[in-house]
Structure 1
Amino acid sequence: MLQNPASKYRSFPPVDLVDRQWPNRRISQPPIWMSTDLRDGNQSLFEPMNLERKMRMFRMLCDIGFKEIEVAFPSASQTDFDFVRRLIDGKHIPADVSIEVLTQAREHLIRRTMESLRGARRAIVHVYNATSKPFRDFVFGMTRSEVVDMAVGAVKLIRQLAAEQPETEWVLEYSPETFTATELDFALDVCNAVTAAWDATPGNKVILNLPTTVELATPNVYADQIEWMHRHLERRDSVILSLHPHNDRGTAVAAAELALMAGGDRVEGCLFGNGERTGNVDIVTLALNLYTQGVAPGLDFSDINAVARTFEHCTQLPIHPRHPYVGDLVFTAFSGSHQDAIKKGFAAKQADVVWDVPYLPIDPADVGRNYDSVIRVNSQSGKGGIAYLLESEYGVVMPRRLQVEFSGVVQRHTETHGGEVSAADIWQLFATTYLDTRAPLHYREHRLFEHGQAQGIRITVDIDGVPHVLSGEGNGPIDAAVHALHTVGIDVQVRSYEERSMSASREAGNALACAFIELTPSEGGGECYGAGVDANIVTASIKALLSGVNRMQSALRDDHRQEAA
């Protein structure tokens, strides 16, 4: 049992701000967004991103609309230094995007950092030193004045080195690390000294980043601290007040929202809250929270599935199925009463009327999602539901998003036929939906061949009953098959791929493989799953690809018929 913590842990009271204004304000415009996925987020991964994943993440962040991206800690490793150089030398940075790099307030690290940025069009140099009393007393053994001198000396050196590279537009960012545990009067002294050393002006602003390096108090305390600094900072018109909340208490989003009301101009965070310990503030949640309040966030999350899949690929981290806005189950209701209320809300919804569907704070269509209710099948039998029945009786372990998709098929069947649905009924529905051998695009056979570093494939298929031999090359059998389909005008992208053994339902030695592929049209559109079953995993994968294409084309034909009607 936990003991009384009162004598062990300090409680942080609100700041002495009797006329605080932030509780009466609302957020009416988005902040300046800065992604630190490639730096703060990357350094906290089990396995940091390789070059391919870093480049993919950087391109996605640019596509989403970030104009400021912290890309590396170049003085910390050769890998980070080289990545900065690759971005600059390879001209990968869009004209309207500024890269940011981090450095400690030490001379040799600052010099190495400035060298990494040589030739950049515009660069933000983010320098920091810890300012709180425990760090001054226990870590550094420094007085207040020595901490100020350390920060000012770093800024003066950056200013000197920046003058030696006039081809670059330089922006200074300074963070008093452990700001929320620092005495406010001292945090103010350090920040004012930095602003003066940089000679900040309205045309040459300094970014003062005030982080909850470790979240120590309730969000209202952070808001009070930000409002106090906002009111007392010198040259406030020459300062961009930046927020960097961490999530140690699980309230980083709330802290960021209240701090924006308190005077913050800018937010640093990671897409889905990745970062050290419990993570940085979740920018997707924060941005879409603004969206649901009628504020355009300035970031494009209209295809949230694509963002999520890219994030998972780059970080090798799963997104929780209940993660706000993006989790695989957030638009799925298991409760019958929830399903009923949502359906009635959709039925009553009118175009150009304020969104007011029960249980759904956002229209799923706005983020490229839809609403799929999940039915519990034959629950009295103790079997559990659709996924459980297919797994226990047939050895088919469906990916979570396919479970959601297939549940809609089962629901339509039960609504039409009524009564209970057996495991055999569900398997028949699954086979008819995903394994139909009568579909327009039908697999016959394939041959693999090597072509240099590439994998080649020849697939024999029937297209509307007519045999065709298709050839393609790629970085593997699936990629090669996608290129082969392209030769007959079928253009798709693979969003995700999984394979499973069906041995749970079969004797050893006779196991089948089941492959699942999630596709989307190359020109954009909704996702669609395909499935394939075969003793050979490559054959199962190709069948899954053709299954997905058949289902996608069927859905497009249905859409065209509805439009014509």
Structure 2
Amino acid sequence: MSNRIYVFDTTLRDGEQVPGCQLNIDEKVMIAQKLDELGVDVIEAGFPVSSPGDFRSVEAVSQVVKNATVCGLTRAVEKDIEIAAAALKSAVKPRIHTGIGSSDIHIKHKFNSNRDDILARGVKAVKYAKRFVEDVEFYAEDAGRADIEFLARLTEAVIDAGATVVNLPDTTGYLLPTVMHDRVSYLMNNVPNVDKAILSMHNHNDLGMATANTIAGVQAGARQVEVTINGIGERAGNTSLEEVAMTLKVHKELDSYTNIKSELLYPLSQLVSKTMRMPVQPNKAIIGRNAFAHSSGIHQDGFLKHAENYEIMTPQEVGVDKSDIVLTARSGRHALKHRLQLLGYELNKEEIDLTYIRFLDLADKIKEVNDGHLVTLMQEMKVETA
């Protein structure tokens, strides 16, 4: 089994479903080109049948993306598939992503149907999509809550029908990582033709476990991850691209890799945040503004002695210029001395002790002390730069 993990980015489709974050065609094209530069393997550009604007967006993205596969989403409906094929006509590497619900909850309450009918409709959709493109991905919606034996039957059937990828979405973000691992392992061991397709993880973050579930699936044999920049998406969001990419990069024991150029992650995160008008939470892993910031005196001291005491990756690896020492009332003498040295002040121990008392008094009043505040403090204490 290959150790290569394919990155399927759905920022422009599932990510764009966030209320108030819709993009125009030019914005979609701009982000698609940056995703292509980042090294993603597949860009899901939209749901062509949903609106004329989405059709034109998928069409426009197909015309400019040079390296990645461009994908259009459909339901298991012939008209959807025809429209997606038309939108993807200019793509160098087109993929149709079709599928249907697989859990009994969806089968009964969404489709008013039964398992055999759902299986037949899935197979029919894949066969019809194969008339237009070679690369067909099938999604078994709500696979996280599907009966595992039926899911295995469905997976086998759509692979026989020509699916190159089978997507196993945890649509509601319900599963625990151990359960995800067991379910993917079951499919790897009980679907006879599983070697003829790639199993894919598409996890939502309703319980905050999208990344953990995705990694668990990879450990069990999935070889595609479906992700978004900044983890944006329906409800609590999708699996975060940057979290999965860096987890695979940092944890060498997973013996898996992507083609993501990690130094481009932070700039693209900022672009997506600005374009979609959706701020990144400060404590967001990898790309939040606090991800490489240290404010506790104990942490600052350890970081200044040796960065790996408190950082498992360098900021430069993800496109951030440098780590940040944030001066607050929790900071210690080591951090204060370090910042003053950067400003050109060389103080002896006695001077540092006196300055630290004044610094703490100031920090208690204004919460965070910046370089300007320190310069003013030095001027008040009549300390000159070296």
Query: Shorter-chain TM-score category?
Result: 0.7 to 0.9
Which protein has the larger Cα radius of gyration, Structure 1 or Structure 2? 1
Q: Which amino acid aligns with 1:181?
A: R
Q: Which has the higher contact order (CA 8 A, sep 6+)?
A: 2
The alpha-carbon deviation at position 303 of structure 1 amounts to 4.1
Unaligned runs of 5+ in 1: 1-26, 163-168, 199-204, 347-356, 385-406, 432-565
**Aligned partners of 1:365, 1:87: CA distance in 2, in Å?**
30
Q: What residue in structure 2 maps to residue 98 of structure 1? A: 69
Matched, 1:252 2:213: no
Change (3 A) 1:428 1:375: closer
Q: What residue in structure 2 maps to residue 517 of structure 1? A: none
Unaligned runs of 5+ in 2: 332-337, 377-386
Q: What residue in structure 2 maps to residue 120 of structure 1? A: 91
Change (3 A) 1:111 1:409: farther
Q: What residue in structure 1 maps to residue 7 of structure 2? A: 33
**Aligned partners of 1:291, 1:58: CA distance in 2, in Å?**
23
Q: What residue in structure 2 maps to residue 9 of structure 1? A: none
Matched, 1:316 2:287: no
Residue aligned with 1:253, SS: helix
Matched, 1:371 2:323: yes
Change (3 A) 1:408 1:75: farther
Q: Residue 175 of structure 2 is aligned with which of 213, 217, 221? A: 217
**Aligned partners of 2:53, 2:29: CA distance in 1, in Å?**
13
The alpha-carbon deviation at position 411 of structure 1 amounts to 7.1
Q: What residue in structure 1 maps to residue 31 of structure 2? A: 57
The alpha-carbon deviation at position 29 of structure 1 amounts to 3.6
The aligned length equals: 354
The alpha-carbon deviation at position 114 of structure 1 amounts to 1.9
User: Which runs of at least 4 in structure 1 moved beyond 4 Å after TM superposition?
Assistant: 407-415, 421-431
- Residue deviations 1:185-240 (CA, integer Å, cap 9, x gap): 11122222222222xxxxxx611111111122311101100010111113222111
Q: What residue in structure 1 maps to residue 381 of structure 2? A: none
Q: Residue 325 of structure 1 is aligned with which of 277, 286, 290? A: 286
- Residue deviations 1:326-358 (CA, integer Å, cap 9, x gap): 111121111111111111114xxxxxxxxxx21
Instruction: Trace 1:461-472 onto structure 2 (pairs within 5 A).
Output: none
**Aligned partners of 2:319, 2:135: CA distance in 1, in Å?**
36
**Aligned partners of 1:230, 1:122: CA distance in 2, in Å?**
27
**Aligned partners of 1:323, 1:248: CA distance in 2, in Å?**
16
Q: Which amino acid aligns with 1:133?
A: D
Matched, 1:189 2:153: yes
Q: Residue 233 of structure 2 is aligned with which of 245, 260, 275? A: 275
Residue aligned with 1:101, SS: strand
Instruction: Trace 1:328-347 onto structure 2 (pairs within 5 A).
Output: 328-346=289-307
Residue aligned with 1:38, SS: coil
Q: What residue in structure 1 maps to residue 196 of structure 2? A: 238
Q: 1:301–1:307: 8 Å Cα contact kept in structure 2?
A: no
- Residue deviations 1:18-45 (CA, integer Å, cap 9, x gap): xxxxxxxxx9944111100011101224
Q: What residue in structure 2 maps to residue 73 of structure 1? A: 47
Which structure has more strand as a fraction of its residues? 1
**Aligned partners of 2:141, 2:94: CA distance in 1, in Å?**
21
Change (3 A) 1:338 1:310: same
Q: Which amino acid aligns with 2:31?
A: M
Change (3 A) 1:415 1:229: farther
Output the TM-score relative to the length of structure 1: 0.58
Residue aligned with 1:272, SS: helix
Output the TM-score relative to the length of structure 2: 0.84
The alpha-carbon deviation at position 173 of structure 1 amounts to 0.5
Change (3 A) 1:261 1:428: closer
